[in-house]
Structure formats: C-alpha cells, structure tokens
A and B are shown apart, each in its own frame.
Chain A
Amino acid sequence: MTLAWFLIRRVLTGIVVLWAVASGTFFLFFARPVQTVAHQLAGRTATPAVIQNVINQLGLNQPIMTQYWHFLGRLLHGNLGYSFFTQESVNTMIKQDLPPTASLVVGGVILWLIAGLGVGILSATRARSLFDRGSTVLVLIGLSMPVFVVGELLIVAVFVPLNQHGLTWIQTQYAGPSQGLGAWSGHMLLPWISLAVVQAAIYTRLMRGQLLTTLGEDYIRTARAKGLSERRVIFTHGVRAALTPVVSQLGIDIGQLLGGVVVIEVVFGLQGLGQVAVAAIYQDDLPVIIGFVLVAAAFVVVANIVVDLVYTVLDPRVRIA
C-alpha cells in the first residue's frame, strides 16, 4: 500500500519536474531573438521578407503564450514537434538515436559498478597490501583523467594498433545488440571504458572506505563470534551494509552522467542523443533541444525513483515516504 502511494507520489512529482524543465527551456529560448533561427534557415542572403515568411511558417510570430499553449497541448499528446531545420519528427529522432546512448549509459554504469565495487572490496579486505597500494595509485590516475582524454587514449593505444594488426573486433561507431553480441560489445567496449574509468575510480574509493568502516563495526565482531565463515562475514554482513551509501551516491552520479555521454559520443562517432543535442543547440533548434532535455530529465527522474526504491529495500530503517 505504502509502496503504491510512494510510486504515485513520485511519478506525479516527476511529471511536475518534467513540465517545469520543458517550460524553462521553452522560455529560455525566447531570451534569444527569433531572428537568429530564421536567419540560419533562410540563408545569409535572404531578404527581410523571406525571413519574415520563415518566421510565420514556424509560427514564431504568434504571441509567446499562444505558442506556449500550443507546445503544451502537443506535449500532452506525446508529440515533441518537428525540427525547425529538417522538419523531421523529434519523436522519430529520439527513437532512432536513443539506442546508442542507452547502450552507452547502461553498459558504462554496469562496468563501473563491477570494477569499482570489485576492486574496492578486494582493497578493503586486504588493506595496506600490495594490491591495495596498487589500486590506490590506479584510483588516483583514474580520478585525474578527463573523459575525452581517456577516449582519445583508448583510440590511439587500443583501437588503432589492434586494427592495424588485423584484429577488428574493437570498433568505433555504433552497432546495436541486434547485430550480434560480439559486434555490439566490440563497438561499445571502448566507450564503456571511457565512461567508466573516472567513476570506477570514485566507486573504488567509496567502496573501500565504506567497507573498512563497516568491518570495524560491532556487528561484524558479532558475526565472527557466531562462528560464520570469513566469506559470509565479509559479504553477507560487511558488503551488505556498505552498499547502502553506495546506492545513494549512484542516484546522484546518474544525474550528472549526461555531460560525459555527449563527449564520448563525439569521440567515438556514436550517432546518439548527445550528438543530436549538441547540433541542435548550435542551431537553436528549439523542438529538438526540448526533446533532448525532456529525455534527459525523464531519465534522471526515473533513475532517482529506482534508486530510492532500491535504497528502501536495502535498508529497513528507511521508510518509504
């Protein structure tokens, strides 16, 4: 019962957030003169009459509020409008360009969690060992690597040499899972790594610290005194308790993920939402911008609901509220 109520409330707040984000973007656009768009569309040499014509065609001559109501009406029907430049439906564009971005995000997050938590756990249970010291150095290196540097490095140091030697599994550009798991992972591996490196470093540090704290807790001593195996003490009792703060961190990080996604799409030539959005921003292509912003916001809203749900499942002391 409380769960249903929680979901209803969070979805409703989510919708309000999306509406606010869409409206914000919409009105922000009008801070820039409408002329710019029309100029770009009509070409440099267009006469004022032609430009006015373009403006009328796009409906940009109507009062702002009229345009806004139109926009909201369409949005309620799930229609994001049409690109000013290509006249393509924004819905179609998103449908086409979502898979590479989704592949990148999902794979990247999974990779960084596996690497970060795995190395973090090993480091904490072998504190001050050679492995721990080595991983600390790697974490520092990882933390200081901007995404585009990692990406370019991977291209120069992995992609190019491998392909020169005839090993063609690792590729740039995008290939979907429908083209086979091998092709998909080959095309996505380097982007995943680029997205994961910095975060894996952060999560290694987080997990190591959390687990070390947890392993010093009284209930771990109890677990040992109960005669449980060391593996059970560490995983069932230690890691389980160290995981809750990691999950709440994940909620924060996912919201900030999209900046890195755009960079990686550009570096690896993935035709995804990020690239489209950047192009749209350069052209003041309002419908496309709003479409992208809405998808990004929806992603953050959903991710946060999921993280909160996971969190309440992980920690019985937290009430769904």
Chain B
Amino acid sequence: MALLEVEDLTVSFPTADGVVKAVRGVSFRVEPGQTLGIVGESGSGKTVLTQTLIGLTPGADINGKAVFDGTDLLQLSEAQLRRIRGARISVIFQDPLTSLHPLYRVGWQIAEMVRAHEASASRKEARDRAVDLLGRVGIPRPEQRVHDYPHQFSGGMRQRAMIAMALALAPKMIIADEPTTALDATVQAQILDLLLQLQEESDTALIMITHDLGVVADIADDVMVMYAGRAAEKGTKHQIFYESHHPYTKGLLESIPNSSVAADRLRPIPGQPPSLINLPAGCKFHPRCGYVLDRCVCAEPELVRIDAVADHGSACWLPAEAAGVGASAEKLREQAVREGRRGAAVEVAEAIAASPEVA
C-alpha cells in the first residue's frame, strides 16, 4: 500500500486580484522508503501542493484527498495535523539561513521539536537527542556545536542542522523543498549524498522538490513534472529521462547543462509560465510549445497513461507513441505537427519561433 496517496488535489487562493489557481487536480503516490521528485519552474505549485498536505496553506480553498498512512490529511483538525507535522511528516526548506530562528541555539531548536511531540522527554534527553542527531548528519564536535547559534554555522552546516531536525522524530516521510538551491555546488552534492544515505538507513519516504532535473537524476525513484499547477508528466526516473513524452519535460531536459540529452545544444524554454489567475485556454503550455497543434489551443489534455506496461502518464495531445529522446520519436512528433497544425496553432507557433530565446 502506498504511504501517501493524493487524489485530484485542487488548491486555490482567493485574492483581491482574483482566484490564484495554484494546484489544479493533481494525483500522485509515494511508496514507503521511496523518493518522488517533483520538478517544475518557479510558480508551478510545488510548494503549495506539498504544504497543503500538512495544513500550512491557510486561507486556501482545498479539494481532493490525501491519504497518508490510512488517514485523509485534508479531513484532519488543526490539532491532529500538528501532531503529524514534524513527527510523521517533516519538512526541509530551501534557505537554511532564514529557516532557522536566528535568536535560538541550534540544539535548542532541535530539542524544542522533540519536546513538542514527546511530552515525556526531559530537557536533558531532548538535548542529548539533538547532539546525537547533529552527529548523525555529520557536524563535527556536536556536543559543542549544539550550543551554537545559526549564524555561527556555515550554509551547509545549517542545512545539515535542518536535516537533523527533520529526522528527529523518525518521520515516515520527509518533504525536502529545494533543499540545495541556496547552497553552492560542492555543498549541494554533499547534502544530497547525506539525504540519500540517511534515507537508506531509516527507510523514510522522500518528496524532493526541485526545479533542477539534475538533482532528480541523482536521487529520485519516481518523478512528477509540474506545469501551471498540474502534473504534465509522471513516471519512473527512467521514463522521464529516456522516454519522456511531454514537450515541457523535453524542454527541461534540454536546459540541464552538461546533460547527455542536451549534449550539443543548451536551450532554455522560450517564454514565461502563465499567470495563475488568468490561465490560457487549452493546454496551459501551448503558448511556449514548439509542437503546438490546433487542438492544444482550445482543449486541455488530461494526464493519461501513454505506456501499456508501466504507469507512465503525460498530459499532451501528441500521440502516445511519440515518447522518447531518439530520432524516431522526433519523427513521430513532427508528423503529428504536420497533420495537426492547420489553423489556430500556426500563428502561435510563429510567435514562439520569433521569440528571442529561440532565435
């Protein structure tokens, strides 16, 4: 049984400017001990999606189901959710400098979390646990460093401390929201290694949010690519990297520097993600898609299975066979374009071709 099963989750924020449709009908599952990578550009709804699960999107209209370990998280009261947050699902945030409280000692902040969930733990026990945890995440001389304030830690050490905190109560699942984005490359690699190693030791499920497919390649089992609040494509890591179907996934792959897929040409995706208040009609990616067809402009494709054997889904009108990074798949796509682009899409395609990123 899946540890987490999210079904048709919708999250929107009523604001003065209009309703922000941040997440529009997303479904996915996370197996115990496995890693799901969620990838997408800034604003695609990755954070909102995961924070909603643990009740941290106040003021949002939420619909759908999110069954974690047998209970629907979206039906729980604030008090019940609080007992899950930190203890059974914990979070590692992007910027370790601003995510730790600047005025409290690192050890205190870890111990505080232990004591919030284990009323029986004494101050001393909680402190000892903090020392242990800091040691586990590779902080040297942890018995001294527990007394440090966050500003006395380097960026990498702070993120290690955040990881220590996330591990404190041996949660079943950790949500890591771009945990390495704010760190420099060597430290990034160390932190990812640490996460992988700890995950193996403790058999914790991990949701790894990132806008960098490279990070996903290192660490994920399954991958969900998000665009404008929806899953554009979903599958195993192998499917996403070698049998990708959705042009947006292809675009992401081609924009990884030094990747095999983008070997000779590094190409950013043209244009900007759409406003979540005024979404375009049809496929939300169509104003940026090099394969845009006439039907893409007016009808939004559902996420459907494109693979008879494995659970590989894509929300794109291109034919299911047109999956993969090879020349034959590209041929199929080009053929689909020839047949399917007669009217409305012609103009859109010309506009994309004329945009500076493509030229």
Interface stretch (choices A14-22, A51-59, A225-233): A225-233
Contact among B91, B103, B112 for A225, CB-based, below 8 A:
B91
Given the known interface contacts A221-B56, A316-B149, the answer about A226 and B99 at a Cβ–Cβ threshold of 8 Å is: no
Q: Which residues of B contact A229 (CB under 8 A)?
A: 82, 116
- Closest beta carbon of chain B to A155's beta carbon, Å: 44
Interface pair A221/B103, CB less than 8 Å apart: no
Q: Give the interface size class of chain A.
A: 20 to 34
Q: Which residues of A contact B105 (CB under 8 A)?
A: 316
Does A222 sit at the interface, judged by CB under 8 A?
yes
Interface pair B98/A217, CB less than 8 Å apart: yes
Does B83 sit at the interface, judged by CB under 8 A?
yes
A314 to B149, CA, bound (A): 13
- Closest beta carbon of chain B to A236's beta carbon, Å: 8
Interface pair B56/A224, CB less than 8 Å apart: yes
Does B95 sit at the interface, judged by CB under 8 A?
yes
Interface pair B98/A227, CB less than 8 Å apart: no
- Closest beta carbon of chain A to B344's beta carbon, Å: 43
- Closest beta carbon of chain B to A214's beta carbon, Å: 10
Per-residue contact bits, chain A 299-321, to B (CB 8 Å; 1 contact, 0 not): 00000000000000011110000
Does B102 sit at the interface, judged by CB under 8 A?
yes
Q: Which residues of B contact A224 (CB under 8 A)?
A: 56, 85
Does A39 sit at the interface, judged by CB under 8 A?
no
- From residue 136 to 188 of chain A, which have CB atoms closer than 8 A to chain B? none
Given the known interface contacts A227-B113, A228-B116, A316-B149, the answer about A218 and B93 at a Cβ–Cβ threshold of 8 Å is: yes
Given the known interface contacts A218-B95, A317-B149, A317-B151, the answer about A226 and B112 at a Cβ–Cβ threshold of 8 Å is: yes
Interface pair B87/A227, CB less than 8 Å apart: yes
Does B86 sit at the interface, judged by CB under 8 A?
yes
Per-residue contact bits, chain B 49-61, to A (CB 8 Å; 1 contact, 0 not): 0000010100000
Q: Which residues of A contact B93 (CB under 8 A)?
A: 218, 221-222, 225
Interface pair A227/B103, CB less than 8 Å apart: no
Does A9 sit at the interface, judged by CB under 8 A?
no
Q: Which residues of A contact B83 (CB under 8 A)?
A: 227
- Closest beta carbon of chain B to A56's beta carbon, Å: 63
Interface pair A225/B101, CB less than 8 Å apart: no
A316 to B78, CA, bound (A): 33
Interface pair A315/B85, CB less than 8 Å apart: no
Does A122 sit at the interface, judged by CB under 8 A?
no
Contact among A225, A228, A232, A237 for B56, CB-based, below 8 A:
A225
Does A115 sit at the interface, judged by CB under 8 A?
no
- From residue 108 to 159 of chain B, which have CB atoms closer than 8 A to chain A? 112-113, 116-117, 149, 151
Does A6 sit at the interface, judged by CB under 8 A?
no
Given the known interface contacts A222-B93, A237-B101, A241-B103, the answer about A227 and B117 at a Cβ–Cβ threshold of 8 Å is: yes
Q: Closest A-chain residue to B152, C-beta based?
A: A316
Does B209 sit at the interface, judged by CB under 8 A?
no
Interface pair A317/B95, CB less than 8 Å apart: no
Q: Which residues of B contact A218 (CB under 8 A)?
A: 93, 95, 98-99
Q: Closest A-chain residue to B58, C-beta based?
A: A224
Interface pair A219/B100, CB less than 8 Å apart: yes
Per-residue contact bits, chain B 72-94, to A (CB 8 Å; 1 contact, 0 not): 00000010001111110011010
- From residue 1 to 59 of chain B, which have CB atoms closer than 8 A to chain A? 54, 56
Does A133 sit at the interface, judged by CB under 8 A?
no
Question: Max chain A CB contacts within 10 Å: which of B85, B90, B101?
Answer: B101
- Closest beta carbon of chain A to B242's beta carbon, Å: 35
Interface pair A226/B85, CB less than 8 Å apart: yes
Does A276 sit at the interface, judged by CB under 8 A?
no
Does B165 sit at the interface, judged by CB under 8 A?
yes
The list of the 7 closest CB pairs from A to B, nearest first, reads A227-B86, A227-B85, A218-B98, A225-B91, A226-B86, A219-B101, A226-B113
Could you write out 18 A-B pairs with CB less than 8 Å apart? A218-B95, A219-B98, A219-B101, A221-B56, A222-B99, A224-B56, A224-B85, A225-B54, A226-B85, A226-B116, A227-B85, A228-B113, A228-B116, A229-B82, A229-B116, A232-B116, A241-B102, A316-B102
Beyond A225-B91, A228-B116, A244-B103, 6 additional pairs, beta carbon < 8 A: A218-B99, A221-B93, A226-B85, A226-B165, A227-B83, A237-B101
